[in-house]
């Protein structure tokens, strides 16, 4: 149950949508949310509570929400003033243009991870993979956003989503069903890929990569609400990624690809680690919109050489 913080008055029954709008922006700004976000989040919360589109709301500014709607808005505002992410309050977020259910059992999919999808699509659209049945694995699948997006975009792909968290897999299951890809996406609970006995054409992984000592300094939205098993990359930030690198050669067929999302300063360390191993052919990186190297793409040696638009690492 969420209690109302003392610093703002409750909405009186009979107030208009417009008054709710102004009230909500004030409350969110008072809680330290910047002005642009307060306006945008108010719009999302009102659409959610009133079950109306933005256009409908704007046409109905003088309408009066019901008592239940006012109570629901107050509860949403209280949760947000406690810095719960808006995505958890709404119960959804968008990733690569598709809507995904999210709650505190899973990390909220980030825009940075869309780079991983772009590289994966690139690799799968090149010969020799293009048009062939594909076996992919998504390690640390969380909400299933990556696995579901790949299944929707690559109709010949069968994808195995693995996560250590049983709770996260429940959310992934919901998303798989909502996007009607149950026949091509399976889920398994596991610690990285230790129990997987098959090989894949491609393995993608957005594993936790935050340095443990940096965790307490992230925003309250992250530290208080997002699952720490989805964030904590151990004492170097790269503990899980390096563990996966030791398993990866056995997970990929010759010529198969491993795509890793990494933190914005970690690609160099990952590439140096890979250079010490003998199993790998091409190594490339891809950058996010801010120019940070976000994805390391590595091809297992042997088999046909495919390509990606990611920049080769020499």
Ligand X SMILES: C[S@@+](CC[C@H](N)C(=O)[O-])C[C@H]1O[C@@H](n2cnc3c(N)ncnc32)[C@H](O)[C@@H]1O
| Interface residue list for ligand X (CB under 6 A) | 107, 109, 113, 139-143, 145-146, 162-165, 168, 191-192, 206-208, 229-230, 240
Smallest separation (angstroms) from ligand X to the CB of 294: 12
| DSSP state letter for 198 | S
Residue 9: Cβ-neighbour burial (10 angstroms; 0-12, 13-18, 19+): exposed
Q: What is the DSSP string of 130-148?
A: TTS-EEEEEES-TTSHHHH
* CB of residue 41 to ligand X, shortest distance in Å: 21
Q: Which is nearer to ligand X, 49 or 139 (CB)?
A: 139
Closest separation in Å from C-beta 172 to ligand X: 9
Name the packing angle between helices 114-125 and 145-153 (round to 10°): 30
Q: Which is nearer to ligand X, 89 or 207 (CB)?
A: 207
Nearer to ligand X, 71 or 90 (CB): 90
Whichever of 21 and 95 has its CB closer to ligand X, that residue is 95
Closer residue to ligand X, CB minimum distance, 163 or 221: 163
CA dist 190 and 102 (Å) reads 21
Per-residue exposure over 20-43, b if at least 16 CB sit within 10 Å of its own CB, e if not = bbebbbebbeebebeeeebeebbb
CB of 118 to ligand X, least distance (A): 14
Q: Measured over all CA atoms, what is the biggest interatomic distance in the chain, rounded to whole angstroms? A: 71
Nearer to ligand X, 74 or 163 (CB): 163
What does each C-alpha distance from 285 to 125, 154, 216, 275 come to in angstroms?
A: 18, 22, 29, 14
Which residue's CB is nearer to ligand X, number 6 or number 216? 216
Closer Cβ to ligand X, 25 or 196, answer by number: 196
Least distance in angstroms from the C-beta of 2 to ligand X: 25
d(CA 225, CA 233): 17
* C-alpha dist (Å) from residue 254 to 201, 221, 275: 8, 42, 18
Short-list 211, 158, 152, CA closest to 187: 158
Rounded to the nearest whole angstrom, what is the least distance from the CB of residue 58 to ligand X in the complex?
33
Sheet holding 252-261, edge to edge: 185-189, 157-163, 134-139, 200-205, 252-261, 293-300, 280-287, 311-312
Tell me whether residue 267 is exposed, middle or buried, using C-beta atoms within 10 angstroms of its C-beta: 0 to 12, 13 to 18, 19 or more: buried
| Closest separation in Å from C-beta 138 to ligand X | 6
Smallest gap from Cβ 103 to ligand X, in A, equals: 13
């Amino acid at each position: 149950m969420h209690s109302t913080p003392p610093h703002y008055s409750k909405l009186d029954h009979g107030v208009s949508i417009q008054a709710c709008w102004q009230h909500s922006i004030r409350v969110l700004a008072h809680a330290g949310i910047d002005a642009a976000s307060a306006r945008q989040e108010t719009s999302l919360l009102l659409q959610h509570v009133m079950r109306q589109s933005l256009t409908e709301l704007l046409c109905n500014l003088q309408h009066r929400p019901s008592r239940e709607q006012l109570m629901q808005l107050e509860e949403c505002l209280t949760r947000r003033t406690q810095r719960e992410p808006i995505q958890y309050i709404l119960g959804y977020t968008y990733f690569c243009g598709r809507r995904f259910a999210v709650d505190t059992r899973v990390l909220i999919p980030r825009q940075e991870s869309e780079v991983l999808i772009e590289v994966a699509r690139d690799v799968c659209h090149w010969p020799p993979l293009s048009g062939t049945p594909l076996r992919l694995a998504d390690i640390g699948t969380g909400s299933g956003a990556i696995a579901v997006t790949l299944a929707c975009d690559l109709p010949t792909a069968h994808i195995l989503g693995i996560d250590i968290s049983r709770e996260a897999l429940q959310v992934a299951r919901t998303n798989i069903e909502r996007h009607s890809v149950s026949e091509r996406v399976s889920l398994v609970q596991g610690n990285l890929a230790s129990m997987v006995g098959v090989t894949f054409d491609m393995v993608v992984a957005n594993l936790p990569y935050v340095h443990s000592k940096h965790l307490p300094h992230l925003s309250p939205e992250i530290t208080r609400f997002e699952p720490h098993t989805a964030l904590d990359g151990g004492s170097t930030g790269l503990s899980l990624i390096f563990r996966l690198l030791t398993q990866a050669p056995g997970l990929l067929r010759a010529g198969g690809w491993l795509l890793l999302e990494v933190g914005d300063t970690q690609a160099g360390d990952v590439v140096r680690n890979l250079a010490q191993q003998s199993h790998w052919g091409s190594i490339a990186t891809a950058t996010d919109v801010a120019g940070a190297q976000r994805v390391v793409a590595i091809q297992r040696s042997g088999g046909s050489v495919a390509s990606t638009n990611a920049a080769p690492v020499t």
